[in-house]
Amino acid sequence: MKQELTNDEYNKIVAKLRDVQDFPKAGIIFKDITPLLGSHEELNILMSHLVARYKDYRLDFIAGIDARGFIFGSILADRLGIGFVPIRKKGKLPYDTICEQYSLEYGTDEVEVHIDAFGLNDGARVLLIDDLMATGGTAKAACELIEKTGALCVECCFIIELDFLNGREKLGNYNVYSVMKF
């Protein structure tokens, strides 16, 4: 399998994104992935691309950020034959967890993961995935959370990156890959 998308494949995926004006608040243009999820052909192009990219990374787990990261992460984990771990908003996981706090425009929020999510041995190789990176705060907290468990965040993968918000800067030394940038 090839690792890079052709221009035709890229354009097919981009064509399945929908811009929603003034969501979730006035002045925001929301990049809606639901048309992509509803299209078997384009979703398959995207997931085949990600499998080709990550098949040789020797990953142990895919970690997906609540909630749309769960969709892409679980599909990718299944296709790679490895485990999937959800990184959830605080208070959503039923077992013992560890948390990481991050800053929002007005206040803070937290993400959490089960303490044994990546096994009991240190050094599990984890790919973090989410649908979109904006400012990078949630992704950075998720990376730090992965590493608090003793695992290694090998790379952060985003389907969409809003590069004008400079989220990569917040992620510092973490490797970042984005399929599409706007």
Q: Is 68 noted as a catalytic residue in this protein?
A: yes
Q: Which of 56, 175, 75 lies closest to 131, judged by CA?
A: 75
Give the span between the Cα atoms of 77 and 148, in whole angstroms: 22
Q: 9, 68, 147, 168: which is the annotated catalytic residue?
A: 68
Which one of the listed residues 9, 42, 58, 105 is annotated catalytic? Answer: 105
- Scan for tokens 């695992």, then name that residue: 151
User: Among 52, 36, 53, 55, which residue's Cα sits nearest to residue 160?
Assistant: 36
Task: Reduce the DSSP state of residue 6 to 3 states and report it.
Answer: coil
For residue 168, what are its two tokens? 């990569």
For the annotated catalytic residues, the residue numbers are 68, 105
